[in-house]
Amino acid sequence: MAEQTLNIPQIIAVVLVGFLAIRWFLSSGSQSSSGNAGRQINPAHVDQVMQMFPQLDRRNVMWDLQRNGGSVSATTERVLAGRGLDAVCSFDPTAVLYSGLAGLEDSS
C-alpha cells in the first residue's frame, strides 16, 4: 500500500478554505442580527423625496428610506404605484437622522 503524504500546497489550500469558511460564518451572523439598525438616512434623500411628494409625512419617508437601504427610486416607485408608505410606531427618526448627520460631518 502506498503511503499518503500531504504536501505544502495542499496544507495551504486547506488552511485558506477553512479561514474563509470561518470568516464567512462569523460575518453572516453579525449582519443578520443587526438588521437595519446600523443604516443611516441621508437627509438629502429625505429632502429629495419630500420635494417630489410634499403631501407625505416626513417620518414615513424616513422609515421607508431606512427600510429599503436609502434608495430614493424605490421610495418614489412605492408612492407612484399607490402602495403608500407604511409607518412603524417604534421608529425613531431623530436617532437615525442625527447619526447620519454626524457621519456626514466626519467625512468632510
Q: Where are the domains of the chain?
A: 7-35, 43-107
Average pLDDT across the chain, whole number:
77
Average pLDDT over residues 34-60: 82
Distance CA 15, CA 32 (A): 26
- CATH T-level topology, domain 43-107: Helicase, Ruva Protein; domain 3 (1.10.8)
Task: Give 67's pLDDT tier (boundaries 50, 70, 90).
Answer: confident
Q: pTM of the full predicted structure?
A: 0.50
Distance CA 24, CA 12 (A): 18
Distance CA 94, CA 59 (A): 9
